[in-house]
Amino acid sequence: MRYSVLDLAPVPEGQTIAQSLRNSTELAQKAESWGYHRYWLAEHHNMPGIASAATAVLIGHIASQTHSIRVGAGGIMLPNHAPYMVAEAFGTLASLHGDRIDLGVGRAPGTDMQTARALRRGMAHDHASGDSFPQDVIDLMGFLGADDPGRAVRAFPGQDTHVPVWMLGSSLYGAQLAAHLGLPYAFASHFAPAALEEALEVYRRQFQPSANLSAPHAMMAINVFAAESDEEGTRLRTTMQQAFARLRLGKPGKLPAPVDDITDHIPALVLAGVNEALRISATGSRDSVRAELSSILERYRPDEVIITGQIHDHAARLRSFEIAAEILSEV
């Protein structure tokens, strides 16, 4: 099974964005050597703890610092952008780096509504509301597909690059659209697992073969917090629990340092909601992570997995991804 990395270029407390970007570059290089298939970066805005806002720019940098791993977006939030400009950006990436570039697209803004308005200045209302998303995806695929000299608007770079487009989602909407368009589908189960089982079933059942894909191909995201012991893995996970709690309380910040007892830091009701959102996770020692990953894979039967892990300490983050790769290489 192919296994990949989803990176938000986290900015830990006490560190700079510049250091965060160096960390991501090193993780991508290590991930390539550990057998990871893709290295995806996600678009978020107005978040002090996430440095991947200019996603296409960072993809270009990571691709230039690696050799064979596929590099892409997981994803570009399409309501924030004109499809034409996304096609030009990813057409440029593909022209520079060949067949190593992936383009995952999502329907959410990846931010709060005030920031969404700042991102969409001058855009038509229907585009900003997300109602045009299916047509935007079709337009985007057209700008990346075979060139038609008879068309008035063509993307250069873009045409004839055939950058693979993935549909991202955390609900049945994305599953149905991916199935209808015959696209590969990636589910955001690392933070929104509620509809996972139903979405995968709907996608597989409704899938219509296309020029891009002959059979359904689904990827799910899994949090991994792997360490030398269960105790250390559990401690590493408290970083993401705190970050998620702060986000839900409207107080996003840099990635917090881990704590010994999470119940001292997050109210019980909030923690219960956070733990439910993060339940697609594998935490602890190598044996524990192997058992939890095996259970997840057996239940959901994904075609691929993409691993993420918001870990404060860079060395611990590298080690977690290394342990995950060792386990997944045996699957």
Using one digit for the tens of pLDDT, what is the confidence trace for 22-37?
999 999 999 999 999 9
**Tokens 């704590």 found at:** 259
Beta bridge partners of 40: 6, 72
Please give the pLDDT value at position 110: 76
* Position 191 pLDDT exceeds 50: yes
* Position 122 pLDDT exceeds 50: yes
Q: What is the mean pLDDT of the chain?
A: 95
Please compute the mean of the pLDDT values over residues 127-151 and round it to a whole number.
88
Please give the pLDDT value at position 117: 85
**Is this model's pTM higher than 0.75 or not?**
yes
Angle between helices 286-300 and 196-206 (to 10 degrees): 40
Are 95 and 124 contacting, i.e. CB atoms less than 8 angstroms apart? no
* pLDDT tens digits, one per residue of 56-86: 999 999 999 999 999 999 999 999 999 999 9
**Tokens 């893709």 found at:** 38
Residue 193 has phi, psi (to 5 degrees) of: -85, 0
The 10 Å Cβ neighbour count of residue 270 is: 15
Query: Beta-strand (E) ranges in 107-228?
Result: 165-169, 185-187, 218-226
The 10 Å Cβ neighbour count of residue 128 is: 18
- How far, in Å, CA of 283 to CA of 156, rounded? 45
Share of the chain above pLDDT 90, in %: 91
32: helix, coil or strand? Answer: helix
- How far, in Å, CA of 79 to CA of 279, rounded? 28
287: helix, coil or strand? Answer: helix
Q: Which of the residue ranges 8-17, 107-116, 189-198 would you say has the lowest mean pLDDT?
A: 107-116
* Position 126 pLDDT exceeds 70: no
Please compute the mean of the pLDDT values over residues 112-127 and round it to a whole number.
71
Structure tokens at 5: 């990395």
Please compute the mean of the pLDDT values over residues 145-150 and round it to a whole number.
97
Please compute the mean of the pLDDT values over residues 221-233 and round it to a whole number.
98
Q: What are the angstrom distances between the C-alpha of 140 and each of 62, 78, 81, 149, 206?
A: 23, 10, 11, 17, 22
* pLDDT tens digits, one per residue of 96-112: 999 999 999 999 877 88
Please report which confidence band the pLDDT of residue 116 belongs to, taking 50, 70 and 90 as the band edges: confident
Please give the pLDDT value at position 168: 98
* Position 219 pLDDT exceeds 90: yes
Please give the pLDDT value at position 121: 65
Give the distance from CA 326 to its chain's centroid: 21
- How far, in Å, CA of 149 to CA of 129, rounded? 32
Kindly state the helix (H) or strand (E) to which residue 142 belongs, with its residue range. Answer: helix 133-144
Sign of CA dihedral 289, 326, 236, 273: negative
**Any residues with CB less than 8 A from the CB of 15 and at least 6 apart, and which?**
254
220: helix, coil or strand? Answer: strand
The 10 Å Cβ neighbour count of residue 321 is: 24
Alpha-helical (H) ranges within 192-261 are 196-206, 230-248
- How far, in Å, CA of 140 to CA of 302, rounded? 26
* pLDDT tens digits, one per residue of 241-286: 999 999 999 899 999 999 999 999 999 999 999 999 999 999 999 9
Please report which confidence band the pLDDT of residue 114 belongs to, taking 50, 70 and 90 as the band edges: confident
**Any residues with CB less than 8 A from the CB of 268 and at least 6 apart, and which?**
none
* Position 124 pLDDT exceeds 90: no
151: helix, coil or strand? Answer: coil
Q: What is the dihedral of CA 182, 131, 199, 189, to 10 degrees?
A: 110
Structure tokens at 115: 């920031």
